């Protein structure tokens, strides 16, 4: 999963922004013209998106119906075939390795999975508890990414593929997962690959670095932990955002201000945590591009893979502060489950900065601007930090931004140009953060 957080608002030039919240003619402050309140949408995020907790706590194979359990065992029995300790530059050798993994996955699935039973099971939305669906989502996402690339580090022959037919053993459960979580991407997302991939021991249930060194495993684990821990620390912020919205709606500017001050304290600490722990000792610069970020990409059919830009806390801050442009619904539904999208859209519709401005709450406006400043500082620091990670040469592959599709060679023919390209994308979002 990609550390580099590049927002996908650039994916469409026609973005519809929410209108400012309407003030009632009587002069009372802002009532939401929405069917879902901020508190309700946060409750749904936790209860539906996290099965009762945030960050989510998935459950795994022992909680799944019998017909689905072979997927867990098949993935784990072949996971050691995914990574190569030394990446090859030989296209023929890489093609052979890719074909071997795909054939092995297909053979094991055909041998061990009862497809008719799987079809019947996954068409029953109550076949397992919500946490089990989350763990199954993580399993199938990792399996599809393994099948898509065939080898890690990612190599150019796989990048050159323009289409890929997945076995029905993978498609049937995947389509059911898309329906349940209301996502449309053929590959995984940050929620499936990271949030849903932690087991009760705080280990990654599914890995792309099986059989490699302790440094590989630590880098993969810390990369995921950074994002999960940010969400753990962000939950109080989400509650404080709800409190601020409800307080300003009740014309209680003092209570709104207190909630925002507390939220800003948390936000500052969250960003400090990320930068304090994004170190070479935790996430190896030499290994990250190849073994941590790479397998979570997609770059097939013009569809992006897992990206740090899908981080909910960053999107929540953008949505709460009205940082435009917002992603189109079509782009956001590729990777974000419905419960996350509902939460974000509710915050956007409230448009608290506009309400504070129209209500002449100067202190509230100032505290919201402090939050914007924290977000700008984060983006500036992130831009500087990512250069060391993104700038590591990977001769076995074409340039591919973290989680995103291939970068045209005329835009970025070498590693230095690649960094320039990424900086341009990050700078655009930094300039929009105002």
Per DSSP, helices labelled H in 85-162 are 91-112, 115-122, 130-149, 156-159
Q: Reduced to 3 states, what is the DSSP secondary structure of residue 1?
A: coil
Q: Reduced to 3 states, what is the DSSP secondary structure of residue 371?
A: helix
d(CA 286, CA 388): 9
Q: Are 354 and 386 in contact (CB under 8 A)?
A: no
The answer to whether 382 is annotated as binding is yes
Q: Are 369 and 434 in contact (CB under 8 A)?
A: no
d(CA 121, CA 116): 9
Per DSSP, helices labelled H in 126-252 are 130-149, 156-159, 168-181, 190-193, 214-249
d(CA 84, CA 96): 13
Q: Are 87 and 155 in contact (CB under 8 A)?
A: yes
d(CA 299, CA 249): 44
The residue length of the chain stands at 434
| Cα 157–chain centre separation | 26
Dihedral sign computed on CA atoms, order 259, 261, 267, 272: negative
Q: Reduced to 3 states, what is the DSSP secondary structure of residue 53?
A: coil
Q: Which residues are annotated as a binding site?
A: 382
Q: Which residues are annotated as a binding site for heme b?
A: 382
């Amino acid at each position: 999963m990609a550390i580099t957080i590049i927002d996908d608002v650039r994916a469409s030039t026609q973005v519809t922004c929410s209108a400012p919240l309407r003030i009632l003619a009587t002069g009372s402050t802002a009532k939401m013209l929405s069917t879902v309140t901020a508190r309700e949408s946060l409750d749904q995020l936790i209860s539906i998106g996290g099965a009762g907790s945030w960050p989510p706590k998935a459950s795994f194979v022992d909680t799944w119906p019998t017909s689905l359990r072979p997927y867990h065992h098949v993935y784990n029995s072949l996971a050691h075939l995914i990574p190569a300790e030394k990446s090859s530059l030989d296209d023929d050798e890489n093609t052979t390795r890719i074909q071997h993994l795909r054939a092995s996955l297909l053979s094991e699935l055909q041998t061990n999975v009862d497809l008719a039973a799987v079809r019947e099971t996954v068409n029953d939305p109550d076949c397992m508890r919500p946490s089990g669906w989350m763990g199954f989502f993580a399993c199938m996402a990792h399996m599809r990414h393994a099948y898509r690339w065939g080898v890690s580090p990612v190599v150019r022959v796989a990048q050159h593929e323009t289409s890929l037919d997945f076995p029905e053993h993978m498609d049937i459960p995947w389509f059911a997962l898309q329906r349940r979580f209301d996502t449309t991407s053929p590959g995984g997302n940050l929620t499936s690959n990271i949030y849903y991939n932690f087991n009760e021991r705080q280990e990654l249930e599914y890995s792309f670095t099986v059989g490699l060194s302790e440094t590989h495993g630590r880098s993969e684990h810390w990369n995921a932990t950074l994002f999960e821990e940010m969400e753990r620390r962000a939950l109080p912020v989400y509650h404080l955002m709800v409190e601020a919205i409800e307080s300003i709606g009740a014309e209680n500017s003092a209570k709104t201000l207190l909630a925002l001050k507390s939220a800003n304290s948390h936000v500052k600490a969250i960003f400090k945590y990320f930068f304090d722990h994004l170190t070479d000792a935790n996430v190896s610069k030499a290994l990250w591009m190849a073994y941590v970020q790479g397998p979570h990409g997609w770059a097939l059919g013009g569809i992006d893979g897992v990206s740090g830009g899908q981080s909910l806390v960053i999107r929540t801050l953008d949505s709460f502060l009205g940082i435009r442009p917002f992603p189109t619904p079509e782009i956001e539904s590729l990777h974000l489950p419905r419960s996350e999208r509902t939460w974000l859209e509710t915050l956007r519709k409230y448009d608290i900065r506009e309400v504070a401005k129209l209500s002449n709450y100067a202190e509230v406006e100032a505290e919201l601007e402090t939050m914007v400043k924290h977000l700008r500082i984060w983006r500036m620091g992130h831009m500087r930090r990512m250069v060391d990670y993104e700038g590591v040469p990977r001769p076995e592959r074409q340039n591919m931004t973290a989680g995103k599709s291939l970068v045209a060679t005329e835009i970025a023919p070498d590693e230095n140009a690649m960094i320039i390209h990424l900086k341009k994308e990050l700078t655009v979002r930094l300039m929009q953060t105002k």
